[in-house]
Amino acid sequence: MGGETTREQRWAELKLWGRERTLGELDALMWRTERHPANSWTGVVVALLDAVPDWERLRDAHRWFVHHVPRFRERVVDPAVPVGTPMWAVDPDFALDFHLRRVRLPEPGTIRQLLEFAQTVALTPMDRSRPPWVGTLVEGLEGGRAAYVLQAHHVLMDGMAVTKLLTRGLSQVRDQIAEEPIGDPLEGPSPDSREVALQELARQARSTPPALARIASSARRAATQPRSTARYAASLSRVLAPPPPNRSDVLAGGSRRTWRFGMLECELRDLKAAGKPAGGTVNDAFVCALLGGLRHYCSEHGEDLQDLTISMPVSMRKIDEAMGGNKFAGAFFAVPAGIADPARRIREMRRRVEAVRSEPALDFLGNLTLVLNRTPSALAASLLRGVNSRAALTTSSWPGLTEERYLAGGRFDRMFVFAPLPGTVLTGAMCTHMGICCIGVNVDGEVFKDAESLWSSLQSGLDEVLALGLTPGAGNRRGRHSSATNSVSAVSKAAPASNIG
């Protein structure tokens, strides 16, 4: 949304955040099956700020925010009996000081120290009886900078929802203050678990007849259109086929209880230019850069890496849907890690992604989510863990901010998202930010014991992909990286970003 948006429009849009009272089926499954940290759905956002925000202004900004976005003062309430899904309810004991914290890094305040702190935050279980988020201002970062570290459960939002939230919720100028009196957060009754169960049973009773009617209509269409039915059945067999197991010895094992964070970045225009000659998108080039890095890492440890299974979310969010929660289908398929040439790798990646996206039965996985939510949580967690563990890595990407935004006087210079490890050994999340691709990488430290080699290998994988976009006579384009074992290099302001293709 552009800079001409009025404050009344922003407030109205923010109030739409999370208007549903009941968790969606996907959100409910993530909430019920979480076993932190080995099978977690809680992630961390690290935002780098160019200056240290004023603490009182920061607190005022958060009071303004939770006033206009009620979802962030609500908690998840589980039903007393294991039927249906949990509900959102106002936390009667909501206290901003629990959710907003302040720390200072010891000197010299490097990015390495910041990521070590973020790792500690990520591995700390959240209090599930409170709204599932905690924000921490991190002061003392070298160069007079600061960071804002947000730990949040996935039920609050997906990547696109984060972008919409920041676009509407952050200040458009550095010296902006709260635009209206805030007062105390709105209070409301907190339904007990019996009420939650009754409301959910009533909702299911209302939704069952229409659902049965849709099934009957589908059956009639199947009887009259055998060719379409056969095509869907073939697609369904492919979608439901168990993904091939991870055959890499180097990337096997681990408990997902030791997380290690690293960051990569490059200019969006360069990553676009790298994917274009091979007919790939920015996302294809991003994933193939990670695959190239894993090839380098495995080669250094005596293994010729072959194709791997990936877990990749495919967005199902419609443009007019509410901003909160999650709207995606999880796709499992083999990616061309066995191809050494980066151009051929991107070309093959595009072919496989298009094949997955075109599957008519891709949305059927949503029906499985509904079924799993009607089983005991322990069983659902075990089944989900069995499926996820067959994938070696998880990736996601989305467009981020395209205009400057400020938090209590500090400009958002970068935003890195570190997703959990839901059965995989590596997750890579890329968010574009003002023309920069910010790539957050989380790995299982028990699998990747040689951290220095890993970060160097991922850098090499990114560099070889970026080289595809070079024209004769052009200078060398390299990405930049940092990790909990390295210091970040200086970064410069880049051109505006555009949506990921």
**Least reliable range by pLDDT among 311-315, 342-346, 461-465:** 311-315
Distances in whole angstroms, Cα of residue 333 to Cα of each of 299, 355, 362, 391: 23, 10, 12, 8
Contacts of 454 (CB under 8 A, 6+ apart): 262, 293, 297, 443, 448
pLDDT tens digit string along 323-364? 554 455 567 889 999 999 999 999 999 999 998 888 777 766
- Angle, alpha carbons 435-439-440 (nearest 5°): 145
Q: How many residues does the chain have?
A: 501
User: Residue 47 pairs with which residues in a beta bridge?
Assistant: 148, 415
If one compares 196 and 257, the residue with the highest pLDDT of the two is 257
pLDDT band at 479 (very low <50, low <70, confident <90, very high): low
Q: What is the rounded distance in angstroms from the CA atom of residue 286 to the CA atom of residue 437?
A: 9
pLDDT tens digit string along 409-454? 999 999 999 999 988 999 999 999 999 999 999 999 999 999 999 9
- What would the mean pLDDT of 17-37 be, rounded to a whole number? 84
Q: What is the pTM of this model?
A: 0.84
Per-residue pLDDT at 213: 56
If one compares 40 and 2, the residue with the highest pLDDT of the two is 40
Please report the domains of the chain, with CATH numbers, ordered by start residue: 7-177 (3.30.559.10), 259-483 (3.30.559.30)
Would you say residue 458 has pLDDT above 60? yes
Contacts of 294 (CB under 8 A, 6+ apart): 251, 305, 308, 337, 393, 426, 457, 458, 461
Would you say residue 117 has pLDDT above 70? yes
Note the Cα 230 to chain centre separation in Å: 35
Per-residue pLDDT at 204: 55
Mean pLDDT score across all residues of the chain: 81
Per-residue pLDDT at 271: 97
**Least reliable range by pLDDT among 49-53, 292-296, 397-401, 474-478:** 474-478
Would you say residue 216 has pLDDT above 50? yes
